[in-house]
Amino acid sequence: MNRATAKHLIERYFRQLTEGCGNGNCTNEFCASCRDFRPLDSNSAAAKALELFKINAKLCDYYPSFKSSADGNSLLDSTMSDKDTNDDFSDVHYLTENNICMILNFCEEEGDYSALVRVIGRVFSNAEALMKSFKKDEPNATENSCKPTDVEKQNDQTLEKMGAASAATLPDDALSDALSTCEVAVDIQAVRRVYDRLLSIDQVEASLVNALIYLTPNVELDLEYLDVYEANPDYLNIFIIVMENSNLHSPEYLEVALPQFCKAMSKLPVTALARLSKLWSMYGLPHIRRMMETFQQLITFTVVSNEYDAENLVNDDETVVAATQCLKIVFYASILAGDVDVEHNEEDEEDTDSDELTLHELLGEERLYKKGPRVDPLEKELGIRTVDSIHPVIPFEDFVNESLNDVVEMDKDFTFFKVNAETKFSFQSCPFILSVITKNQGLYYDNRIRMYSERRLTALYSMVQGQQPNPYLKLKVRRDHIIDDALVRLEMISMENPSDLKKQLFVEFEGEQGVDEGGVSKEFFQLVLEEIFNPDIGMFTYDDETKLFWFNSSSLENEAQYTLIGIVLGLAIYNNCILDVHFPMVVYRKLMGKKGTYLDLSDSHPVLYQSLKGLLEYTGNVKEDMMLTFQISHTDLFGNPVLYDLKDQGDQIPVTIENRQEFVDLYVDYILNTSVERQFRAFKKGFLMVTNESPLKYLFRPEEVELLICGSRKLDFEALEKTTEYDGGYSKDSQIIKDFWETIHSFGEEQKRFFLQFTTGTDRAPVGGLGKLKMIIAKNGSDTDRLPTSHTCFNALLLPEYSTKEKLRERLLKAITYAKGFGML
């Protein structure tokens, strides 16, 4: 606890001992408002306050409306001034829909809302009073009821239906568990009806803002140091009631009230955050989206209102950090309210940890290179992961805050994420708010630091053992035997010293002079993939309709070949290379720990998906009309039919309307999981050899992993033109450059991909699109018959200054069409 916080708490104890809390029915023996309390002089009160602080004694909530504070603080005076009349409703110590409507009717008759303003200010500024308000067991209002309009009634009914529909997407046992776990005493509909009436009155709005400003610092301290939620879980009611205010995003709240409220909410223990998330997931889309937009607006407002740099980090802005942590609650509520699958999980690979100390541990670097996947505490408490989400009610993309992504310093944020997680906040602990581009920067830093670490360890071992240091993962391969050479070398490395896979990749083609600065590795990956995905080899099957590959369940290749392709995918991510891989999304979901399910068939096996969908939707006599059994057939590598029983003696069990769902589930499980288990296990093993210590699984969703490996299929050459740099005498105004871009834009899709392959080593755009590709066009002499050349390592095109546009086009097309191999110029 810092000095300022300690001082504030001691002052609160002193005020409690000298002035009391203002509650005439107080029972706290250490409060001046208690009837049995013996008055103390100032010196005795100061000493007693210090003693109470040391033992963490009970603190009462303060009732500021009864008299002005001794320190002259007049924050609430304008909205909660004392008025000694019979109509100030001083006997109202908590709110119900009934008493609010009674006071509201009185004020409307009088034409003066000051009594309502005082009551609202007094209750909303007092944690104990607000916590007791709007209880479900309170009698409903009758003649004094806040009768909603017809439109409000219709809206309430619609929202209730939407909330029920969202909740109904959970399995029955999960739904009942959620209802019992997040059961709260607040009458949510009553709170909403009251807010609908109150927020139309300007004086009440001001009172709510000021009360929230007064309330939240004390709530924050109570949560952080007094464990009030553990003592009384109803403390959560405060946050439930305040968050129903639909005006929290307005300017009146954004500057002070909402930032303070978010800081207080971020101090809630994880069990309380989980209750909030489960409760909000029952609300329905409009309310979940409203809360999401409230926190997003606060983050954006704060970011654009301040300037951040390497010295003044956004990570140190308490408002942005607290709002991000609150947004996480809504993020998981959105997942819970949508379609989720918490059951179909792949078995995790067993991690065999050695009892011996590693060199990182000896050097005191175990925090930076610690093993094992991260687990978010809230995710663990809820028992759900991002990868379990099939369709959240709010798309994942809506949680990304572009303003924040523009100012976050990922090198610093990465350090906080890996080393100082206990003391410094990292936005990578809330990856939903970061774009794929930003997260990719964090992954890049992680990969580079591991490469640097392996080089250090290699140098250290070589000095100790007196051997030649080998700081890189070197692969020397022959073009015409690339699979055999790569397989033998990588298999030896994975068996003898798997950590060598974490070194920077360095590829050399036998008989060629090219030095690998990235371009040679790109071509190596491309050639390996072309060979392995060749249908003649039979490792994968190809669907002409979807243009996607799938594991061949009857392949004769050994597991080492599949392990190799897994290693290649892992190395591509690790070395920031883009691969021309065409897998359905279910492959990436399986790599992230989920099994294939019925919905995954839609892109991996669309014909089978439509057939099974027709079976599930069939309204006739399934048994007699379909004549199906629990025995299925498929063809092997040679086109021969293979029979498989989904259940024992499956050929004797007919498919009926009662068991057709079971048939579909077993059929899908066989096609996507069981039949390719051997091949996929080896494939995943190779992938994890490279990525097992990476934050990949924690930071990225399956569709984002595909983007990392394959790049973007969208090629925006307009964006590439804007970001291209020129060297050697060229500029964007040079005639040859104008002719060049006119020529490029006139190319067809295939020719554009050839050009990209020629210049960068891959025909895909990097994460973020071609605008993120830093291409250089350099002058390579005057007019000549020589072809353009490129340095794919540096994305550099060496372009002679051809005399005509026609010659430029002819020379460029020839270069990109017949380019293969590396040489020294």
State the Cα–Cα distance between residues 193 and 286, nearest whole angstrom: 16
Q: Which token pair is 363? A: 């050097």
Which residues, in sequence order, are bridge partners of residue 643?
A: 633
Using N-to-C axis directions, what is the helix angle for 188-198 and 202-225, rounded to 10°?
Answer: 140
State the Cα–Cα distance between residues 424 and 418, nearest whole angstrom: 10
Neighbours of 814 (CB within 10 A): 12
SS3 523: helix
Q: How far is CA 288 from CA 243, 268, 393, in A?
A: 11, 19, 9
Return contacts of 644-652, CB within 8 angstroms, 24+ apart: 644/670, 644/675, 646/670
Neighbours of 460 (CB within 10 A): 13
What is the C-alpha end-to-end distance of the chain, expressed in Å?
65
User: Catalytic annotation on 430?
Assistant: no
Q: Which token pair is 376? A: 């978010």
Q: What Rg, from alpha-carbon coordinates, does the chain have? A: 33
Which residue, chain included where needed, has tokens 């439509």? 610
Q: Which token pair is 596? A: 């294939």
State the Cα–Cα distance between residues 223 and 766, nearest whole angstrom: 45
Q: Do residues 204 and 95 touch, judged by C-beta distance below 8 A?
A: no
State the Cα–Cα distance between residues 338 and 388, nearest whole angstrom: 10
DSSP per-residue letters across 766-805: PTT-GGG---EEEE--SS-SPPPEEETTTTEEEE---SSH
Q: Which token pair is 637? A: 């590598």
Give the residue among 253, 263, 255, 184 at the shortest CA–CA distance from 222. 263
Q: Side chain identity at 542, as an amino acid letter?
A: Y
**160 CB contacts (<8 Å, ≥6 apart)?**
189, 284
State the Cα–Cα distance between residues 716 and 771, nearest whole angstrom: 8
Q: Side chain identity at 278, as an amino acid letter?
A: K
State the Cα–Cα distance between residues 581 and 709, nearest whole angstrom: 8
Task: Write down the catalytic residue from 21, 182, 430, 793.
Answer: 793
Q: Do residues 244 and 199 touch, judged by C-beta distance below 8 A?
A: no
Q: Do residues 118 and 89 touch, judged by C-beta distance below 8 A?
A: yes
SS3 186: strand
State the Cα–Cα distance between residues 425 and 409, nearest whole angstrom: 12
State the Cα–Cα distance between residues 31 and 60, nearest whole angstrom: 8
Q: How is residue 345 annotated by DSSP?
A: B
State the Cα–Cα distance between residues 173 and 169, nearest whole angstrom: 11
Q: Where are the alpha helices (DSSP H) in 307-376?
A: 318-337, 359-362
State the Cα–Cα distance between residues 74 and 80, nearest whole angstrom: 10
State the Cα–Cα distance between residues 634 and 484, nearest whole angstrom: 31
Instruction: Characterise 317 by phi-psi region: left (phi > 0), alpha (psi -120 to 50), beta (else).
Output: beta
Which residues, in sequence order, are bridge partners of residue 674?
A: none
Q: Which helix (H) or strand (E) holds 714?
A: none
Q: What angle do CA 450, 453, 454 make, to 5 degrees?
A: 90
3-state helix, strand, coil split of the chain in percent (to 5) is 55, 5, 40
Catalytic residue ranges:
793
